[in-house]
């Protein structure tokens, strides 16, 4: 028997830590961010990535000044890493000594309006039921963090939720025009007369339904105060600085506000409770999701 002149190379065997490293870099986009997620320094992430790419014989990311952009294989590996992450967390939950006790951190993203008006009051009751749960709450206007799995649950006002997320519509968010109860604007006719000052969202929310409605019905009106959140619109309207379109669920309980219109059909959107397909089966996420689905009340 003649021995082979060249030994065949052994294919690189990906390990769980390799997948974890790739997933962290896909989510963070930078070596520093991935290192923070993994609890190691950026140079360790870089060396690990080099080792994986050498073993696989191909690049996983493109490098630029802004960070690391995953190529198709990195995205595929990140998907497998998410499956592994979910399975591991489910196994840990199943192995709890007291399985009825739910623990861990649940990350929720929403807008400041929905956070203060709906989500925070709902979580207050849940904390008493599951004292081992912790919450990270982020107030912002985008869903990118849920796509990157930087968060577990999103509570959003939208007419068309992203197709890659799963969830349910809690109910309709209705809007109306409001003024301060002590001010000169006490009827819609007062606003139509053209003497009202306006408080409105700024360019951070250019397509907000309240902005589109004002431009359609009051095209000559210019907002005297432009702010970056609907919650701030409410606060300034209550101070008597102008009129503004506000969510009914938020404004109806404010003693200093008076509604000048009925609910505006053109401004109605839906309140959606959303999560990532890989996160919805995690016990801590499923517990919080189910609680919010039961307790979020718009009217």
DSSP string over 169-196? EEEEE-EEEEEETTSS--SHHHHHTT--
C-alpha to C-alpha distance for 25 and 22, rounded to whole angstroms: 5
Residues 6+ apart with CB under 8 A from 56: 12, 14, 73
Determine the Cα–Cα distance for residues 12 and 284; give it in Å rounded to an integer: 35
Q: What is the pLDDT of residue 239?
A: 95
For the chain, the C-alpha Rg in angstroms (whole number) is 25
Within 8 A by CB and 6+ apart from 241, the residues are 197, 199, 224, 225
Dihedral angle at the C-alpha atoms of 98, 99, 103, 107, nearest 10 degrees? Answer: 180
Give Cα separations from 20 to 24, 45, 75, 258 (angstroms): 6, 11, 12, 53
pLDDT at 241: 95
d(CA 55, CA 10): 10
pLDDT at 94: 59
pLDDT at residue 181, as a whole number: 92
Where do the domains of the chain lie, and which CATH numbers do they carry? Answer: 16-93 (1.10.10.10), 104-172+270-295 (3.40.190.10), 175-267 (3.40.190.10)
Do residues 125 and 154 lie in contact, with contact meaning Cβ atoms separated by under 8 Å? Answer: no
Q: What is the mean pLDDT of each run of 10 residues along the chain (299 residues)?
A: 50 87 89 88 92 91 90 88 73 59 87 91 87 88 59 87 82 95 90 91 85 93 91 94 94 92 94 84 87 86
DSSP tag of 265: G
Please tell me the predicted confidence (pLDDT) of residue 183.
86
pLDDT at 3: 47
- Residue 52, pLDDT score: 93
> Do β-strands 61-64 and 67-70 pair in parallel, antiparallel, or remain unpaired?
antiparallel
Q: Is 250 helix (H, G, I), strand (E, B) or coil?
A: helix
How far are the Cα atoms of 8, 125, 145, 169, 228 from residue 141, in angstroms, in the given order? 53, 25, 10, 18, 10
This model's pTM is above 0.75: no
Distance CA 275, CA 25 (A): 21
Residue 81: the pLDDT is 84
Q: What is the pLDDT of residue 36?
A: 87
User: Residue 108 corresponds to which tokens in the numbers above?
Assistant: 């929720």
Question: What is the distance between the alpha carbons of residues 73 and 3, in angstroms, rounded to a whole number?
Answer: 36
Other beta carbons less than 10 A from residue 167's beta carbon = 20
What are residue 201's DSSP bridge partners? 227
């Amino acid at each position: 028997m003649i021995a082979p002149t060249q030994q065949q190379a052994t294919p690189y065997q990906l390990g769980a830590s390799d997948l974890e490293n790739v997933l962290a870099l896909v989510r963070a986009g930078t070596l520093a961010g991935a290192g923070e997620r993994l609890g190691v320094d950026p140079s360790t992430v870089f060396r690990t990535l080099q080792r994986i790419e050498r073993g696989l014989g191909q690049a996983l990311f493109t490098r630029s000044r802004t960070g690391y952009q995953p190529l198709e294989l990195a995205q595929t590996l990140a998907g497998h890493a998410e499956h592994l992450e979910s399975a591991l967390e489910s196994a840990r939950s199943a192995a709890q000594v007291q399985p009825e006790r739910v623990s861990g951190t649940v990350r929720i993203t929403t807008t400041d309006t929905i956070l203060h008006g709906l989500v925070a009051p709902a979580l207050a009751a849940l904390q008493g039921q599951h004292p081992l749960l912790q919450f990270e709450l982020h107030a912002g206007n985008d869903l990118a963090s849920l796509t990157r799995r930087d968060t577990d649950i999103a509570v959003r006002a939208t007419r068309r939720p992203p197709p890659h997320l799963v969830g349910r519509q809690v109910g309709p968010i209705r809007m109306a025009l409001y003024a301060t109860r002590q001010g000169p604007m006490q009827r819609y006719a007062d606003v139509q007369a053209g003497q009202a000052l306006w408080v409105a969202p700024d360019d951070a929310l250019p397509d907000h339904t309240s902005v589109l409605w004002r431009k359609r019905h009051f095209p000559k009106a210019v907002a005297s105060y432009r702010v970056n959140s609907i919650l701030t619109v409410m606060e300034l309207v209550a101070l008597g600085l102008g009129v503004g379109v506000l969510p009914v669920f938020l404004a109806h309980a404010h003693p200093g506000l008076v509604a000048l219109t009925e609910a505006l059909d053109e401004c109605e959107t839906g309140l959606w409770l959303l999560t990532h397909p890989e996160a919805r089966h995690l016990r801590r996420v499923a517990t919080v999701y189910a609680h919010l689905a039961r307790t979020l009340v718009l009217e």
